[in-house]
Structure 1
């Protein structure tokens, strides 16, 4: 009796199996090579864009500076407001900047003094001009007097800032224990402001676009501070947060008052802050007080700025 013995399977697979296996391996190799090439090209493009492109694409034609002035249409004449706007517009056109003129009524201040409107106005400008590098807030009762000075070369250039910044200076003169940083570099500055003999003078200040400026403005405009009844409203609120929030103080510099905030005769200042011909800006600080007339004080300088601007 013979038992059926199963036939042994050949150790050599049929020819078509070899061809299929080789084709599969070749296809996988090609896919891997393509994937590696794509990753390499992507990495190179990423490095190049960050090394030479700054990591952000700013649309062509974006103004580097926006000048913000909140206007009070209820308490000032149309001619006065027009003169203020013309002053900013002509200066901005000369240097490729732009302007923004919101009114006090554009913002809900919750019954707070109208001077608070400057804070949401600057925050509004950061949203309205999302790629503009600097926002310069300039009070209504001010005039730009020297059209040849640019914000960048005169103030915000890092090397210029380092030469201007007043280090280790009391925030509230004469002897506040909280002082400006002594080691801050120009390229790390996010707010530039001046100081008069009483304290911070926020009628003319510059902020750099970014997360810090949004945080700072939101902090300044906090309802708690607006309801606190500071004697000088937003001025004293600003001094408070600068002294009590190191995150804010660490990005702020003081520069000499006449750099961008000279006061006219009759304003509360000392000689170091008094306007002189050739200064960048003149402010009629406090002219809305009883017994003074902003339009009358501005009139001779209004004629002067038009003459100077149109002669250049």
Structure 2
């Protein structure tokens, strides 16, 4: 019996492909081209009709309304100063704030969990707390407990932070950390650009009296300053040296920084002539009094306390 053998496979292709196998592939190719053309057309329509980039990327955080215009923040350390002295400090801040419609925030050592960082970091956390409690404030001014506000006529938003005023006060192409830091303030920064105002002391920047403009940049600045790495690092002057580090090595911070003369908001009762207090200055400070005992500040400041009370009563 003979069985039919299966057809043998050949390596030579057939002379042509059947029509039924070519047309479906051709149709698929045309359909892909049509689909791609349609997508390209829809993309074009989107690009033409989409909102402008400024509206599309509008900031998520609304602008502060300026109510209050300023919050004055002070940290009260009862281990360094006498109760009577700190009561006078509170009275001073409250009277000044009342005259201009400002608010005050007084924090104490121990109010915040610093996660093992030195107590001096309380000042930075208190600033962040002020922004949280007064989201519509235009500015937050930190002034430590070693000084008093002496001139009730001066307004922060008008006499320091107004862009036109800052244009005359700020130092451009100026070493950030004295005397000869290679990092300098930008030459092209204008008063309109400024979100942080600092002064210098003999050996560095001062974190005892400074002003921050409320906004997204302020949040970024304070969060950067409070980075756990900086809080845990063994800086000799804790938050002050951390501040010097971040404003020198973060261009985003340096571009919004203005350094002004010490007497603008950080005059010393005793000190170098360029920073020594004169009548009419906004602030007088006694930076070293607490190191000599809690009563020392009370004694050294007595004449200035009498002066500011007299001036405030007359204003």
- Match of residue 313 from structure 2: 310
Q: Distance in 2 between matches of 1:304 and 1:275?
A: 13
Q: For residues 287 and 57 of structure 1, what CA distance do their matches in structure 2 show?
A: 40
Q: 2:236 aligns with which of 228, 231, 249?
A: 231
Over 3 Å counting, the alpha-carbon distance change for 1:174 and 1:57 in structure 2 is closer
Q: Secondary structure at the match of 1:213?
A: helix
Contact 2:186/2:255 (<8 A) preserved: yes
Contact 2:67 2:138 in 1 (8 A): no
Cα distance in 2 for residues equivalent to 1:230 and 1:158:
34
CA distance in 1, matches of 2:201, 2:78: 28
Q: 1:186 to 1:216 in 2, by over 3 A?
A: same
Give the distance between the partners of 2:63 and 2:161, measured in 1 at CA: 21
2:39 is matched with: none
Residue 134, structure 1, aligned to residue 139, structure 2: yes
Q: Superposed, which structure 2 residues align to 1:23-62 within 5 Å?
A: 62=67
Number of residue pairs aligned between Structure 1 and Structure 2: 257
- Greater shift after overlay, 106-115 or 189-198? 106-115
SS in 2 for 1:105: coil
Match of 1:152 among 132, 152, 157: 157
Distance 1:168 1:197 in 2: 18
The separation in 2 between residues aligned to 1:131 and 1:291, in whole angstroms, is: 39
* Separation in structure 1 between the aligned mates of residue 64 and residue 223 of structure 2, nearest angstrom: 25
For 1:143, the equivalent position in structure 2 comes to 148
1:58 Cα offset (Å): 5.8
Paired residue for 1:107?
112
TM-score, structure 1 as length reference: 0.78
Distance 1:76 1:197, change over 3 A: closer
- Residue 270 (structure 1) aligns with: 272
How far is the alpha carbon of 1:74 from its aligned partner? 3.7
1:1-312 equivalent positions in 2, closer than 5 A: 62-265=67-270, 269-290=271-292, 293-312=296-315
Per-residue CA distance 1:184-211 (angstroms, 9 max, x = gap): 1111111001111211111000001111
In structure 2, distance between residues paired with 1:130 and 1:121: 14
Query: What's the C-alpha RMSD, in Å, of the aligned pairs?
Result: 2.0
Instruction: Name structure 1 gaps, 5 residues minimum.
Output: 1-42
Question: What are the ranges of 5 or more consecutive residues in structure 2 without an aligned counterpart?
Answer: 1-50
Select the structure of larger CA radius of gyration: 2
